[in-house]
């Protein structure tokens, strides 16, 4: 029987593993924060060129109020901005102008069906290429 006891595997208590893991994770987070602080110049260009356009349909709230037959008002997600309230656009060159059909949102109401669809003029981008001499 003593041979069977010698073959028993050694179990490490969970508390003995948890302490070093927490220390390693903490050290890694501190090192990552220091690296990010020293290399902020790498992240500056990520948001450059972006413009935030508020949705004109919901006035930037992301919700619209709709009345039903019983004259009750219900809040719905805005069908133009999908409930966000704004849209980011990125102008790739100086000839990019806001689409006059959709106002830069990329979606508009179809006059035939009344449903909202992607703008055909800008293909949902919100920007069109204007001629080089046009300053609109």
pLDDT digits (tens, 9 = 90+) for 68-107: 777 788 888 999 998 899 998 888 888 889 999 998 999 9
Domain annotation for the chain: domains and CATH numbers: 48-129 (2.10.230)
Question: Which backbone phi and psi does 87 adopt, to 5 degrees?
Answer: -145, 140
What's the pLDDT tens digit per position in 102-125? 989 999 988 899 889 999 999 999
> Residue 39: its pLDDT value, please?
82
Q: Give just the sign of the alpha carbon dihedral 86, 90, 91, 96.
A: negative
Rounded CA-CA distance 78/64 in Å is 6
pLDDT attached to residue 107: 92
Helices (H) and strands (E) in the chain, counts: 2, 8
Q: Is the pLDDT of residue 8 over 70?
A: no
Predicted pLDDT at 23 = 93
pLDDT in tens, 40-53: 777 666 556 788 89
Burial class (CB within 10 angstroms; exposed 0-12, middle 13-18, buried 19+) of 40 = exposed
Its pTM stands at 0.55
Report the pLDDT value the prediction gives residue 72, as an integer from 0 to 100. 84
């Amino acid at each position: 029987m003593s041979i069977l006891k010698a073959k028993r595997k050694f179990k490490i208590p969970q508390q003995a593993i948890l302490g070093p893991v927490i220390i390693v994770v903490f050290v890694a987070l501190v090192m990552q924060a220091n690296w990010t602080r020293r290399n902020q110049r790498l992240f500056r260009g990520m948001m450059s060129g972006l413009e935030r356009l508020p949705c004109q349909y919901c006035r930037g709230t992301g919700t619209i109020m709709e009345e039903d037959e019983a004259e009750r008002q219900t809040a719905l997600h805005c069908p133009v901005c999908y409930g966000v309230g704004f849209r980011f656009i990125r102008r790739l060159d100086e000839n990019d102008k806001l689409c006059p059909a959709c106002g830069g949102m990329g979606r508009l109401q179809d006059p035939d069906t009344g449903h909202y669809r992607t703008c055909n003029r800008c293909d949902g981008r919100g920007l069109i290429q204007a001629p080089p001499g046009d300053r609109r």
